[in-house]
């Protein structure tokens, strides 16, 4: 019985991810943007909890790397929000959940989550570490590019002047490279199907809104 339940864990997690993203996308298109966007922290928490369960992030090595990325991500974002370093001048809105001195805790979680799933996805394309690091960082940058255009509309974050500048994308790519390098240096692996579907669900969500808005 336990084995049978375990067999359906990944399909259930993948189905849940798509259900949440498609439901939110449909609700936004139908005019219920305020209600669905306000539930973004809940959506991200569910996806992160499933990542911990399915990836899984249970070994000490994975927990330490996830924690390092979370802490560094929070620190860099704090320097960005407080002093305008790295990304440009910006501030977070109310729809990304509780904050620590202006930086949402979930942004640190998001840095770690994106690093783990993109690093796993690159395993479909290559076994060469440096190429996987590069591809992982580019996938993270691609998703950020789509998110930047919807973030102000959803009150996730707002840049001075309206949109992110080139320095934001350079900083994102550099930090993504560092996180990908750390991931591969410690030789972590994880569930590729769940990682791929979570990335695709976010890509479809933000990609559609990028075109729709």
Q: Helix axis angle, 192-212 relative to 105-121, nearest 10°?
A: 120
Query: H or E stretch including 99?
Result: strand 99-100
200 CB contacts (<8 Å, ≥6 apart)?
none
Query: Which SS3 state, helix, strand or coil, does residue 117 take?
Result: helix
Going 93 to 99 to 53 to 144, the CA torsion angle's sign is: positive
Which tokens belong to 128? Answer: 């060469």
Query: CA–CA separation, 155 vs 151, rounded Å?
Result: 6
Query: Does residue 212 register a pLDDT over 80?
Result: no
CA distance 68 to 71: 5
Check residue 1 and give its pLDDT: 38
pTM, two decimal places: 0.93
* pLDDT tens profile 92-129: 988 888 999 999 999 999 999 999 999 999 999 999 99
User: How many angstroms separate the CA atoms of 34 and 24, rounded?
Assistant: 11
Neighbouring residues of 30: CB distance < 8 A, sequence distance ≥ 6: none
pLDDT digits (tens, 9 = 90+) for 37-69: 888 888 999 999 999 999 999 999 999 999 999
Lowest mean per-residue pLDDT among 4-13, 18-27, 79-88, 157-166: 4-13
In tens, the pLDDT along 144-191 reads: 999 988 888 888 898 987 788 899 999 999 999 999 999 999 999 999
- Indicate if the pLDDT at residue 6 is higher than 70: no
pLDDT attached to residue 91: 92
- Res 3: pLDDT: 43
């Amino acid at each position: 019985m336990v084995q049978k339940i375990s067999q359906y864990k990944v399909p259930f997690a993948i189905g849940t991810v798509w259900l949440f993203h498609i439901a939110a996308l449909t609700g936004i298109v139908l005019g219920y943007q305020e209600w669905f966007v306000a539930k973004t922290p809940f959506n991200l928490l569910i996806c992160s909890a499933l990542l911990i369960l399915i990836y899984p992030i249970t070994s000490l090595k994975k927990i330490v790397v996830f924690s390092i990325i979370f802490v560094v991500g929070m620190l860099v974002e704090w320097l960005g929000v407080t002093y305008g370093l790295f990304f440009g001048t910006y501030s977070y809105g109310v729809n990304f959940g509780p904050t620590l001195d202006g930086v949402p805790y979930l942004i640190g979680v998001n840095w770690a989550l994106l690093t783990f799933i993109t690093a796993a996805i690159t395993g479909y394309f290559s076994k060469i570490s440096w190429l996987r690091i590069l591809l992982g960082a580019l996938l993270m940058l691609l998703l950020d590019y789509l998110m930047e255009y919807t973030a102000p509309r959803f009150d996730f974050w707002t840049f001075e002047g309206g949109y992110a500048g080139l320095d934001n994308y350079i900083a994102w790519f550099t930090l993504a490279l560092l996180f990908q390098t750390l991931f591969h240096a410690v030789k972590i692996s994880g569930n590729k199907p769940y990682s791929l579907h979570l990335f695709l669900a976010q890509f479809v969500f933000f990609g559609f809104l990028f075109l729709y808005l």
